[in-house]
């Protein structure tokens, strides 16, 4: 076990992953320009209509994309009640706008406009500009740019392509396999929660994974004091937010913002969470104590992050440091496990002289192009290399999906 590449240190891992990332950049990913052009045209029409409706609802024109002008319109001209403040004025972010929905017809139009404008400007119009003469996009992947060890993707960033809603799927459908290949995605199931279960050794977390119980449902059962089978979709959604909140070191205030509930209720959720998962509470307290004492925190593979903020007199700064310390071991360990998986998988595909290749990495997921005819050989290799990086108290689990484009990936049984 100790001979896993994971324990050879971050420098070694980052050196070995370089050829993998260079290969991904060089190969790139094919994009169907026709799909993006049609999508962009459709969006252009809808955005124009929304713009007209907005000006009609207000009575005059202004720059819908200017937070400054919008704040003036909403909070001075229309005298709507301002909520959050930013450094420079009043916030007009999505959460704020949603709370004003019933107060003026302009708000609903603005929300629709923002959604479509984002898809149009950042994706439908921008991605075509990144397409090379080979009809492919060659994003740059870097291994040593983040505090936690995650990869970055830039020019363009292919790690933030939309996935939710109608527009997310339509953008992703424009990403297609090379001819003679099919897309295979392999994602680590509940990646960071399995690592948290390993680090904490919490009995409830471990048994949830052992018994294949959905982790968010299990948490919902604990914080709503119900049987797992009786949990509603809404309760599961709340529990999912609480789970991620724990992973990110979120405060009661942060959780209440995220869920749109009052501070006291958020505090209750967190209290009930730590009552049920007592070992997680113990682990986090010990983690912070160690981090303060040593000034740094470590991943499973020994990657360190120094956190001087923990010694600050300023509460905001210190709290921010505590969140970094809480989040770093799980996010950082997940990142290095994925890196080792990529190095080993890359080597294995080469060793077995396969044409199939890694195309993208999105933190807990790999997108591969699998050559026609290689599928039955590649599937077990991908699973083995990803699941086999390290044996934790909870086994790593990888789910596979297949598709003729990135927007319509379908789960497959192995």
Tell me how far apart the alpha carbons of residues 103 and 80 are, in angstroms, rounded to a whole number: 8
> DSSP characters for 327-382?
HHHHHHHHHHHHHHHHHHHHHHHHHTT---EEEEE-SSEEEEEEETT-HHHHHHHH
Only segment of 28-36, 88-96, 202-210, 231-239 that touches DNA (CB under 7 A)? 88-96
Task: Find the shortest distance in angstroms from Cβ 354 to DNA.
Answer: 26
Q: Which of 152, 267, 276, 279 binds DNA (CB under 7 A)?
A: 152
Q: Does 412 bind DNA (CB under 7 A)?
A: no
Q: Which of 202, 222, 235, 365 binds DNA (CB under 7 A)?
A: 365
Tell me how far apart the alpha carbons of residues 335 and 299 are, in angstroms, rounded to a whole number: 10
**Maximal CA-CA distance, the chain:** 70
Which two three-digit tokens encode residue 112? Answer: 């629709």
Tell me how far apart the alpha carbons of residues 96 and 373 are, in angstroms, rounded to a whole number: 52
Nearer to DNA, 146 or 275 (CB): 146
Polymer length in residues for the chain: 414
Q: Does 121 bind DNA (CB under 7 A)?
A: yes
> DSSP characters for 299-321?
-TT--EEE-GGGG-SSHHHHHHH
Site for DNA in 24-63 (CB under 7 A): 63
Nearer to DNA, 51 or 214 (CB): 51
Convert residues 293-322 into a mask of x (bound to DNA by CB under 7 A) and - (unbound). Answer: ---------------------------x--
Tell me how far apart the alpha carbons of residues 220 and 201 are, in angstroms, rounded to a whole number: 20
Q: Does 236 bind DNA (CB under 7 A)?
A: no
Site for DNA in 99-118 (CB under 7 A): 114-115, 118
Q: Does 14 bind DNA (CB under 7 A)?
A: no
Q: Does 185 bind DNA (CB under 7 A)?
A: no
Nearer to DNA, 221 or 366 (CB): 366
Q: Which of 147, 230, 263, 408 binds DNA (CB under 7 A)?
A: 147
Q: Which residues of 155-173 are buried (b: 16+ CB within 10 A; e: fewer)?
A: ebebbebbeeeebeebbbb
Task: Find the shortest distance in angstroms from Cβ 9 to DNA.
Answer: 19
Q: Does 170 bind DNA (CB under 7 A)?
A: no
Nearer to DNA, 60 or 227 (CB): 60
Q: Which residues of 361-382 are buried (b: 16+ CB within 10 A; e: fewer)?
A: bbbbbbbbbbbeebeeebbebb
Would strands 296-298 and 140-142 be described as parallel, antiparallel, or unpaired? unpaired
Q: Which of 82, 128, 168, 228 binds DNA (CB under 7 A)?
A: 168
Only segment of 145-153, 199-207, 216-224, 383-391 that touches DNA (CB under 7 A)? 145-153
**Residue 38, CA distances (Å) to 18, 45, 268, 354, 405 in order:** 37, 11, 49, 36, 17
Q: Does 153 bind DNA (CB under 7 A)?
A: yes
Convert residues 327-356 into a mask of x (bound to DNA by CB under 7 A) and - (unbound). Answer: x---x-------------------------
Tell me how far apart the alpha carbons of residues 47 and 120 are, in angstroms, rounded to a whole number: 9
Only segment of 100-108, 150-158, 209-217, 348-356 that touches DNA (CB under 7 A)? 150-158
* Closest to 137 in 3D by CA, of 152, 121, 126: 126
Residues at the contact surface with DNA, assessed by CB under 7 A: 63, 65-69, 86-89, 91-94, 114-115, 118-119, 121-122, 125-126, 142, 145-148, 150, 152-157, 159-164, 168, 248-249, 320, 323-324, 327, 331, 362-365
């Amino acid at each position: 076990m100790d001979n896993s590449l994971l324990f050879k240190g971050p420098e070694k891992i980052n050196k070995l992953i370089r050829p993998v990332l260079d290969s991904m950049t060089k190969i790139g990913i094919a994009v169907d320009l026709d799909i993006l052009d049609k999508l962009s045209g459709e969006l252009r029409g809808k955005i124009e209509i929304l713009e007209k409706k907005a000006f009609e609802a207000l009575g005059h024109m202004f720059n819908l994309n200017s937070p400054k002008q919008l704040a003036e319109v909403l909070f001075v001209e229309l005298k709507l009640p301002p909520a959050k403040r930013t450094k420079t004025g009043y916030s007009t972010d999505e959460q704020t706008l949603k709370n004003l929905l019933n107060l003026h017809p302009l708000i609903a139009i603005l929300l629709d406009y923002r959604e479509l404008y984002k898809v149009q400007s950042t994706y439908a119009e921008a991605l075509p500009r990144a397409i090379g003469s080979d009809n492919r996009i060659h994003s740059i992947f870097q291994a040593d740019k983040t505090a936690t060890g995650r990869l970055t993707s830039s020019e363009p960033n292919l790690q933030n392509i939309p996935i939710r809603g109608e527009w997310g799927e339509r953008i992703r459908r424009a990403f297609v396999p090379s001819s003679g290949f099919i897309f295979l995605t392999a994602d680590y199931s509940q990646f960071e929660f399995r690592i948290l279960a390993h680090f904490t050794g919490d009995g409830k977390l471990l048994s949830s994974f052992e018994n294949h119980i959905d982790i968010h449902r299990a948490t919902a059962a604990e914080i709503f004091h119900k049987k797992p089978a009786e949990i509603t979709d809404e309760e599961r959604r709340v529990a999912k937010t609480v789970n991620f909140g724990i992973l990110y070191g979120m405060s009661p205030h942060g959780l209440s913002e995220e869920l749109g509930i009052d501070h006291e209720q958020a505090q209750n959720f967190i209290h009930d969470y730590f009552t049920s998962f007592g070992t997680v509470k113990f682990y986090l307290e010990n983690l912070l104590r160690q981090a303060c004492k040593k000034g740094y925190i470590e991943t499973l593979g020994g990657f360190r992050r120094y956190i001087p903020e923990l010694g600050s007199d300023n509460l905001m700064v210190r709290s921010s440091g505590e969140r970094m310390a809480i989040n770093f071991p799980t996010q950082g360990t997940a990142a290095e496990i994925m890196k080792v998986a990529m190095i080993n998988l890359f080597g294995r595909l080469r060793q077995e002289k396969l044409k199939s290749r890694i195309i993208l990495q999105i933190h807990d997921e790999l997108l591969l192009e699998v050559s026609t005819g290689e599928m039955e050989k590649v599937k077990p290799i991908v699973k083995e290399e990803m699941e086999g990086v390290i044996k934790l108290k909870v086994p790593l689990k990888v789910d596979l999906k297949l598709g003729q484009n990135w927007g319509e990936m379908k789960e497959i049984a192995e």
